[in-house]
Amino acid sequence: MSPSKFNSAENTSNPPQENGIGDHVSLVNSGKAIQELAQEPLLHGTDDHLVEFSETLRTVAKTLRRVSEGKASALAEAAQWKRKYELERARNLHLERKGLLASSTVPSEGHHGKDQIKASRNFPDEYTRVDEIAVQLDKCCGRNDICSHEVLRCGSPDSDSNTSQSKLMKKASFKLSWCCNGDKSNQHKHDIVSFEMGDITTAERSSKQISLKWESPPQTVFILMKPNSESVKVLCSELIRWFKEEKRLNIFVEPRVRGELLSESSYYSFVQTWQEEKEIMDLHTKVDFVVTLGGDGTVLWAASLFKGPVPPIVPFSLGSLGFMTPFCSEHYREYLSTVLHGPISITLRNRLQCYVVRDSAKNEIDEREGPILVLNEVTIDRGISSFLTNLECYCDNIFVTSVQGDGLILSTTSGSTAYSLAAGGSMVHPQVPGILFTPICPHSLSFRPLILPEHVTIRVQVPFNSRGHAWASFDGKGRKQLGPGDALVCSMAPWPVPTACQSDSTSDFLRSIHDGLHWNLRKMQASDGPRET
């Protein structure tokens, strides 16, 4: 599963070939040989050393397979960069030709003009070969990517003909494109990076609040409430009557809630729900927005029901401690009327997409368990074992560190004020894109938390020599056991959870840490007045 520190021996019988193909074939042959040796059944009565040697051979076989795949990927990337170099060279030659054509069309007296026109007709063959490529390159300007093809001249455009014939000052051209692991992304973010006259600038994305405006009036609302609370049940009944009688909305609830409502009165027969679990997959196509009555746990439950796109969530605070519930239930009519009318400020809360890959899996993509979406964090701990957790962590297949301690937390920025904060992690604004990497009671004083960018893929693997198993939990539930060789793969999910704000995302976040955590609350230092100097 994971990269190993073993190095395969060189195969001297095969001569080296161009582009490393011979090395690639030798790696594949070595991997097959070691894999066949590792799969041979052990003899009866073998000791622990042979078992450990067999597991080591299995690890080496997997490592050689990854090395061969990386070799092929490197060759493909080299070919791609070669093609980019040729296109860039063709573009520069095309620009030079344009500059010579511009200078040849300047009127002059005598035979100078004729000589220039004659020279313009006799370009080297190197210029004529790139005409077709240059036309294709010109089409990329003004599209999704960000290009620079400017040629800066000396002097002002109003200069005389002598200045126009002077030597051109060329600015190196370049192109910025959004990519992840070498592949271009289909999502082009024009509002993040802009280009003008060779300077790269970033737009003020972090200072802009996100606003939601309805293009058509909402028709359907999904109400989720905290269970085992009589006060919440009374508020839910009142809210359903208000939505139906005054706002004329269609109402969805959970099957359990609908049963409780019908046991009280047949009036609630118009309330809709689902019969089978597979109908939840299409719930986002029927619901315009969601109202949660409870605390942060109710918001987590609402997010877990949607495995894909999530409708906007309006969270009301009816719990003990809430960082994602800014609305007060006493004024629900005023708040919900504002939401229905729009526009409203929202916070896009990123989620993690997690997969469990077993050691017995032959294909990491087809034979993995998941996806499992989490809004707060995924935790890998030692469970009931008395041994330290031993985990190997990789970021985009690059080894990060080995975790020895009670476990590891991979948290979103929305979950930065939850388990990650209790384990020593930092509080992060929920709209900051990133993944928090926080150890739990590490067996090293220098192991400090990290914040990784949003586009990375993190793999946490239990090594084969681990003394015990590890356990993974997702937002505090769905616990899964990880044995030696098993791995947990996490990346940023493409579907965030939009939650409505009372004022804006920054004000709500600061208010939550002040009111919920009493952040930096202390008595002011006594002052005796200004001292005379």
Element (H, E) at 215: none
What is the arithmetic mean of pLDDT over 150-172?
A: 45
- Dmax (CA) for the chain in angstroms is 104
476 and 330 together in one domain: no
- Asked if residue 500 belongs to a domain, the reply is no
**pLDDT band at 467, cuts 50/70/90?**
confident
Phi, psi of 531 (to 5 degrees): -90, 140
> Could you report the per-residue pLDDT of 104-134, keeping only the tens digit for each?
544 444 444 444 444 444 444 544 444 554 4
Instruction: Give the model's pLDDT for residue 21.
Output: 46
What is the arithmetic mean of pLDDT over 340-364?
A: 88
336 and 431 together in one domain: no
Phi, psi of 71 (to 5 degrees): -65, -45
- Asked if residue 465 belongs to a domain, the reply is yes
328 and 423 together in one domain: no
Instruction: Give the model's pLDDT for residue 1.
Output: 47
Instruction: Give the model's pLDDT for residue 386.
Output: 86
Instruction: Give the model's pLDDT for residue 49.
Output: 72
148 and 11 together in one domain: yes
Q: Which residue has the higher pLDDT, 375 or 158?
A: 375
Contacts of 393 (CB under 8 A, 6+ apart): 399, 400, 401, 402, 403, 408, 437, 458, 459, 460, 461
CB 379 within 8 A of CB 473: yes
276 and 387 together in one domain: no
Phi, psi of 408 (to 5 degrees): -145, 145
- Asked if residue 506 belongs to a domain, the reply is no
What is the distance between the alpha carbons of residues 79 and 226, in angstroms, rounded to a whole number? 57
Instruction: Give the model's pLDDT for residue 201.
Output: 60
Among the residue ranges 110-114, 231-235, 292-296, 504-508, the one predicted with the least confidence is 110-114
178 and 138 together in one domain: no
Residue 178 pLDDT greater than 80, yes or no: no
292 and 408 together in one domain: no
Question: Alpha helix locations (H) across 122-245?
Answer: 125-128, 131-138, 161-164, 230-245
Instruction: Give the model's pLDDT for residue 460.
Output: 95
Residue 259 pLDDT greater than 80, yes or no: yes
pTM: 0.65
Instruction: Give the model's pLDDT for residue 45.
Output: 52
Residue 286 pLDDT greater than 50, yes or no: yes
- Asked if residue 526 belongs to a domain, the reply is no
Element (H, E) at 505: helix 505-517
Q: Which residue has the higher pLDDT, 234 or 172?
A: 234
What is the distance between the alpha carbons of residues 340 and 263, in angstroms, rounded to a whole number? 30
Catalytic residues: 296
CB 278 within 8 A of CB 303: no
**pLDDT band at 174, cuts 50/70/90?**
low
Among the residue ranges 26-30, 58-62, 247-251, 288-292, the one predicted with the least confidence is 26-30
12 and 107 together in one domain: yes
Among the residue ranges 87-101, 233-247, 470-484, the one predicted with the least confidence is 87-101
CB 251 within 8 A of CB 243: yes
Neighbouring CB atoms inside 10 A of 33's CB total: 13
Domain count within the chain: 4
Instruction: Give the model's pLDDT for residue 95.
Output: 72
**pLDDT band at 79, cuts 50/70/90?**
confident
Instruction: Give the model's pLDDT for residue 172.
Output: 58
2 and 138 together in one domain: yes
17 and 129 together in one domain: yes
Instruction: Give the model's pLDDT for residue 123.
Output: 46
Domain that holds residue 247: 211-348
Q: At which of 348, 379, 397 does a domain end?
A: 348
- Asked if residue 520 belongs to a domain, the reply is no
Q: Which of 151, 153, 95, 98 is nearest to 120 (CA)?
A: 98
Residue 169 pLDDT greater than 70, yes or no: no
Instruction: Give the model's pLDDT for residue 443.
Output: 92
> Could you report the per-residue pLDDT of 505-532, keeping only the tens digit for each?
999 999 999 988 889 888 887 776 666 6
- Asked if residue 531 belongs to a domain, the reply is no
Q: Which residue has the higher pLDDT, 145 or 228?
A: 228
17 and 122 together in one domain: yes
| C-alpha distances out from residue 257 to 36, 227, 254, 320, 332, Å | 57, 9, 5, 22, 20
Instruction: Give the model's pLDDT for residue 511.
Output: 92
Instruction: Give the model's pLDDT for residue 439.
Output: 96
| C-alpha distances out from residue 217 to 202, 222, 240, 249, 289, Å | 35, 15, 18, 10, 11
Q: CATH code at 399?
A: 2.60.200.30
> Could you report the per-residue pLDDT of 32-65, keeping only the tens digit for each?
666 665 566 555 555 667 777 777 887 887 788 7
CB 251 within 8 A of CB 221: yes
Neighbouring CB atoms inside 10 A of 154's CB total: 11
Instruction: Give the model's pLDDT for residue 50.
Output: 77
Q: Which residue has the higher pLDDT, 207 or 510?
A: 510
What is the distance between the alpha carbons of residues 129 and 110, in angstroms, rounded to a whole number? 32
Instruction: Give the model's pLDDT for residue 60.
Output: 82
41 and 183 together in one domain: no
- Asked if residue 515 belongs to a domain, the reply is no
**Mean of pLDDT over the chain:** 77
- Asked if residue 517 belongs to a domain, the reply is no
Instruction: Give the model's pLDDT for residue 132.
Output: 53
Instruction: Give the model's pLDDT for residue 182.
Output: 45
Instruction: Give the model's pLDDT for residue 22.
Output: 52
Query: Which of 275-279, 317-321, 488-492, 518-522 has the highest average model confidence (pLDDT)?
Result: 488-492
Instruction: Give the model's pLDDT for residue 237.
Output: 93
The residue assigned the tokens 């069309």 is 105
Q: At which of 145, 170, 195 does a domain end?
A: 170
**pLDDT band at 452, cuts 50/70/90?**
very high
Q: Which residue has the higher pLDDT, 98 or 307?
A: 307
